Amino acid sequence: MKIGFCGLGRMGVPMVRCLLRAGHEVHVWNRSAGPAQALAAEGAQVCASPRALADACPWVALCVFDAAAVEAVVFGTDGLAASRGLQVLIDHSSIPPGHTRAFARRLADTQGAQWLDAPVSGGTGGAAAGTLAVMVGGDAAVCEQVTPVLRAYAQRVTYMGPSGAGQVTKLCNQTIVATTIAAIAEAVALAQDAGVDAARLAEALAGGWADSTLLQLFVPRMTQEPPAAQATLDTMLKDLDTVAALARSQGTAIPVAAAAGQHYRLASRQGHGADDVSQLIRVFDPAPGRRA
């Protein structure tokens, strides 16, 4: 297949590499030229603008930071919507469901193309390994049509319902992930303060009710040297703010997620916003990794 991809950040670059490995013809665009040029050396074709990319590819995937970035890439000057060739837009960005629905209507009214909200879970490791989980909102038939392409970087593609349903599902994912990471950080600090080697928690709790993929990933990250950022604290805070806004609009009580959100906000205010999400531990223990 020929497919376009806009947004070559931590997630976008490995996703494009998966598409290339799967044999697809991939056209790319990014605001900064560096990542696009690196992928050009691996076989991607670089386009000068989103519009040029959509002129070349009827299907375009998008993975950018927030709703403002999505709107700029799609509806801005020389944006994707300026092309008459665009047929399907697959938005892997994590943005509010209301924005997704509005953007989808706007694209259908002005350009006639289909919009799928298709946020992902699995982090940069999952993107590189091709094992992401994709949760999709939009037209079910269009989702079925594009799923074979998404399989290049996704282990699971699940259709969740009409426009916005994929974004709601991602917010549920982030609620679980963010609160679990906060609980792990508390447990690590509790062990350290009690004189117990917190680095052994993952081993000690393996197989028990507290065990999880997150426990096994984040105990080492919190008890060793700070890792290179895979997902940042500010990105998680953005998603938790979106969770709070959705909950407020529909009257859902989220006391645990709300409390966790304040921990992420505090970490950001302390200067850790660009750090890996594991560094939430610094809210509870300013010197993580110290020996018991």
> Which residues participate in catalysis according to the annotation?
170
Per-residue DSSP letter, 200: G
Could you tell me if 154 and 254 are in contact, meaning their C-beta atoms sit under 8 angstroms apart?
no
**What's the rounded Cα separation, in Å, for the pair 150 and 129?**
13
Query: Residue for token digits 């700029």?
Result: 72
Could you tell me if 181 and 35 are in contact, meaning their C-beta atoms sit under 8 angstroms apart?
no
Per-residue DSSP letter, 115: E
Per-residue DSSP letter, 227: P
Could you tell me if 44 and 26 are in contact, meaning their C-beta atoms sit under 8 angstroms apart?
yes
How many other C-beta atoms can be found within 10 angstroms of the C-beta atom of residue 229?
17
**What's the rounded Cα separation, in Å, for the pair 189 and 185?**
6
Identify residue 216 by its one-letter amino acid code.
Q
For the chain, the first-to-last Cα distance in angstroms comes to: 55
Helical (H) or strand (E) element with 156: strand 154-161
| The pair of three-digit structure tokens given for residue 251, joined into one six-digit string | 């009257």
| The pair of three-digit structure tokens given for residue 104, joined into one six-digit string | 């989808």
How many other C-beta atoms can be found within 10 angstroms of the C-beta atom of residue 109?
8
As to burial, measured by CB atoms within 10 angstroms (0-12 exposed, 13-18 middle, 19+ buried), residue 77 is exposed
**What's the rounded Cα separation, in Å, for the pair 63 and 8?**
7
Cα of 7 vs its chain's centroid, Å: 12
